[in-house]
Structure 1
Amino acid sequence: MTIKGIFRAVFGTFLIFLLLLAILAVGLSFSQQQLQGSQIRKDEALRLLQEMQDSRDYLTQFSRVYVFRGNERFYQLYQSLLDIIEGRKARPVYLDESYWDTLADSGMNKVRMRPAVSFETLAKEAGFTAEESDLISKILETGRAMTQIEQEVLNTFRESRAETQENQTKQSFALASELTGNDYLALQLGFKQHFARLFALINERAEAEMMATEASNWYYLYGILGIILFLCLNVLVAYRVIVARVIVPIAYLKQQTNSLEKDFDRLVQV
């Protein structure tokens, strides 16, 4: 092989390995972004589901407290939250305890709002799997059944208020029993069971996705380390080849040239 061919082979091999190294580095970066995206999607899904669960609990609390106390404030809170859940009213960015605390302390002026959208629409856009979507449908259906009972109790309470405090108390207990009766509690239990199963499914899916992504990350890392080792070996082999095929012959030619020069000088002197 000529010297030119040797250098072509050496630098061509280097170029191929560097291209492979760049491809693996890009793949590792993309895989890492997928891992981060999977974690973000999991957090967003869990936050949405937590809002759904907490909102349902708040509806139960508001309806019960209103029937027991007759305070119109709790009826207004109930209707406001129901409108937010069903997409008839602008919703806060974070529909959690901080929303109710801010609402109680400062009013609506300091609450960050976003356009009205129902929980059902948000769930459809969240990218849940078919099994998870089926559970969400059951959750929404159970929530609507609980809301129907609450609405009937609240409407009855508002339409037939007793004249005396004693009769009012009896009426409140009678209506409140419908919000603590077996039918309502059975719906509430089913609601919580569906949520528990849904949380478990999301955690299992997220863990599986993260494990798969982490496994691919290790493959990329092993590939990068392998290429680095091949590059090191290539450097050693290239060095030995260059020494044997280039440096040694050049040194030999130089030695022979010097010897010829000396012989020529002696001939000239003679």
Structure 2
Amino acid sequence: MSLKRLFYLIFSVNIILLMILGVLTIALFKVQSALVESQETRLKSIKLADELRQSSDDLTRFVRTYVVTGNHFYEKIFNEILAIRNGEKPRPENYDRIYWDFIVDPSDQKEEPGTKMSLHDRMIAAGFTKEELSKLNKAQMHSDELVNLETIAKNAMKGLFKDSHGEFTIRKKPNREFAISLMYGIDYHKHKREIMLPIDQFFQLLENRTNAKVKEYENYSIFLLTSMFSVIIVLITSLSFSFIVIREKVSSPINKLILVTHEISNQNWDVPITYESNDEIGKLATAFRILKEKISNLIYDLNHSNSNLSQTNLDLSQALKDLKAAEAQLIHSEKMSTLGQLVAGIAHEINTPLGSIQTAISNLQDAFSYVLTFPTSKLPMRAISIANEMITNHSELKNANLATRERRLLKKNMANLLQKANINNPDHFADLLLDIESNQTLESWISILQESNGENGIEYIYKISRLNGNVKTIQNSVDRASKIVFALKNYSHHNFTGEKQKIQLSENINTVLIIYNSLLKEGIEVIKNFHEVELIEVYPDELSQVWTNLIHNAVQAIEGKGQISIDITQEIGSNFVTVSIRDTGKGIKEEDKEKIFEPFFTTKMRGEGTGLGLGIVKKIIEKHQGEIYFQSEVGFGTTFIVRLPV
């Protein structure tokens, strides 16, 4: 199984476990919410039952006060309590708290807002069971019967008594003693007991029901917690397995390849690469084995070349050593995630000069064989003189930059002139003369060709010219490879001391640009406007990460052809250096600007970015006591400005 598929499988299992854990967490939260809601319902139910009991006590208190004092204010309050309980008058806010105990005279009573709803209707709305509701209804029924007794007492205070139809139409002398006896007699207390008995039974029913519900939620909570604990154990096991797989399938093979790399960097080309596998690391080891063999063969061939190339071979060997050392550092470096995007481009940048060197060496061997074995004594003196001059004076290839069409036209004209001069094989010699590094005129070449052994002289001069050209090709290729390797070393160097270092900002940014050359050279123009600024004290590794992220974002924003402008300036009148990176890309939408530095926010397509880059950049700049901000317009591009203290 490939590492990619294996990691996808492990990742999927871990995600599924995390999702299950999340679902269990949500379920536990809902159970806890339901438990809280159950407690609130219980409290609300208790308040309603208590309001029934309290209203009965308030009615008793005020009617007793009325029959004792004869004060009609207490009769009025008695009637208001009945009206509120029956939904005939608005129920004041906070009525379930201490309310009527604060009303002792008319000045204490104030008009308060409320809604009309009888106590019976509110009991139905509270969701009581039929049995519970029947108990409260029974209590209210007994309370209403007690109200009838209290009404008889009130009317006796006014001299009104019931007729045969139960109406208070018979007028007599007010009988205060009769009213008091009704309010304090044994019948009144019996009625009160009949009210309180179903209320007490209601409390028992409510407690049994709510306790059962609470117990049910608690059992469900325990089940969820047990399930969560089991999932966590499985998740820990899965993560442990993931760690073992990564160690065995990735870390261990890479460490073996690192040891091989160190051996190769010490010129031990016989060290075997024994790791074999069908996964990506195994393919990397196979490719590395092939690369080692090819480089070994190349070094062997270069060591047997002409002594004039010995210094070049040493430089190339040193470049290869530096590249291996950089590779070993990159494997351990935290920048592996960034450099991973550039491996293909860097490999192309290195392979191009190596291919040029290999081709040049092949041409050198052919030219050396021809030149060293050629009998120069038979050549025209003019040809020998030109050849000697070319050996001592190295000029540029005069026709090296000609376009294909221009070269064909020039060759055709030259071949026609050679044919008119009766030169044999004019097309062949026109090709040779176009490639010879010399400023001789065509007439000079024709005069040599017309001499005895002149054609051999031109061949000899051509081979000398090819020797010079191949030497330059090798030198340029080595310089190019060395520049790339030097940039890689600077970029991947890690400061183990954890202390700041003084650097030149332009060098720090140029290193990143060289690394990104393979991405920048196709349709993207980089404009550098680097002013001379003071050395600044920074963490070089982390600052390189800033430029890498900003330049990479600029490249992706351009999506093809465009410009990236980088400016470095010293702020006048302040101890700050400003770096601005401007692109001509698509710009940032207005709704995205406030979230651009937030972790995990990205404007790229799914799979193209994590949304962490700019968040990390902001933290690095803040760590340097600097600041970063941007200006962007959709369709015109974006400019990121970084200010760093000197």
What TM-score results when the alignment is normalised by the length of structure 1? 0.85
2-structure distance, mates of 1:83, 1:97: 18
Change in CA separation of 1:151 and 1:259 when aligned onto 2, cut-off 3 Å: same
Aligned partner letter, 2:235: L
2:61 is aligned with 1:57: no
Which of the pair is proportionally richer in strand? 2
Correspondence for 1:180: 184
Contact 1:92–1:99 (CA under 8 A) maintained in structure 2:
no
Contact 1:59–1:78 (CA under 8 A) maintained in structure 2:
yes
Change in CA separation of 1:40 and 1:136 when aligned onto 2, cut-off 3 Å: same
TM-superposition CA deviations, 1:180-209 (whole Å, max 9, x none): 334332221121111111122222222222
Change in CA separation of 1:14 and 1:72 when aligned onto 2, cut-off 3 Å: same
Deviates more, 1:47-56 or 1:257-266: 257-266
Secondary structure, counterpart of 1:89 in structure 2? coil
Contact 2:47–2:96 (CA under 8 A) maintained in structure 1:
no
Correspondence for 1:135: 135
- Structure 1 residue runs without a partner (length 5+): none
5 Å-filtered alignment, 1:1-270, equals: 1-96=1-96, 98-104=98-104, 107-109=108-110, 112-160=112-160, 171-249=175-253, 255=260, 256=273, 261=292, 265=296, 268=300
Deviates more, 1:196-205 or 1:93-102: 93-102
Change in CA separation of 1:95 and 1:264 when aligned onto 2, cut-off 3 Å: closer
Change in CA separation of 1:49 and 1:180 when aligned onto 2, cut-off 3 Å: same
CA-CA distance at 1:5 after TM superposition: 2.0
1-structure distance, mates of 2:176, 2:113: 35
Secondary structure, counterpart of 2:99 in structure 1? helix
Change in CA separation of 1:32 and 1:112 when aligned onto 2, cut-off 3 Å: farther
- Structure 2 residue runs without a partner (length 5+): 161-170, 261-272, 274-284, 305-646
Secondary structure, counterpart of 2:217 in structure 1? helix
Contact 1:6–1:242 (CA under 8 A) maintained in structure 2:
no
Report how many residues are paired: 263
Q: Which has the higher contact order (CA 8 A, sep 6+)?
A: 1
Secondary structure, counterpart of 1:239 in structure 2? helix
Change in CA separation of 1:230 and 1:210 when aligned onto 2, cut-off 3 Å: same
Contact 2:35–2:214 (CA under 8 A) maintained in structure 1:
yes
CA-CA distance at 1:252 after TM superposition: 5.6
2-structure distance, mates of 1:236, 1:108: 73
Correspondence for 2:547: none
CA-CA distance at 1:247 after TM superposition: 4.0
State the percentage of identical aligned residues.
25
1-structure distance, mates of 2:16, 2:204: 46
TM-superposition CA deviations, 1:119-149 (whole Å, max 9, x none): 1111111111121111011111111111112
Contact 2:153–2:178 (CA under 8 A) maintained in structure 1:
no
Aligned partner letter, 1:179: M
CA-CA distance at 1:162 after TM superposition: 7.4
1-structure distance, mates of 2:233, 2:296: 52
Contact 2:156–2:178 (CA under 8 A) maintained in structure 1:
no
1-structure distance, mates of 2:71, 2:127: 40
2-structure distance, mates of 1:87, 1:132: 21
Secondary structure, counterpart of 1:151 in structure 2? helix
Secondary structure, counterpart of 2:128 in structure 1? coil
2-structure distance, mates of 1:209, 1:125: 19
TM-superposition CA deviations, 1:221-242 (whole Å, max 9, x none): 2222222221111011122223
Which of the pair is proportionally richer in helix? 1
Secondary structure, counterpart of 2:238 in structure 1? helix
Change in CA separation of 1:96 and 1:173 when aligned onto 2, cut-off 3 Å: farther
Contact 2:52–2:140 (CA under 8 A) maintained in structure 1:
no
Contact 1:86–1:118 (CA under 8 A) maintained in structure 2:
yes
Contact 1:32–1:213 (CA under 8 A) maintained in structure 2:
yes
Secondary structure, counterpart of 2:98 in structure 1? helix
Deviates more, 1:254-263 or 1:215-224: 254-263
2-structure distance, mates of 1:131, 1:103: 36
TM-superposition CA deviations, 1:43-72 (whole Å, max 9, x none): 111112111101101111222221222121
Aligned partner letter, 2:27: G
Deviates more, 1:251-260 or 1:1-10: 251-260
* Structure 1 residue ranges, 4+ long, deviating more than 6 angstroms after superposition: none
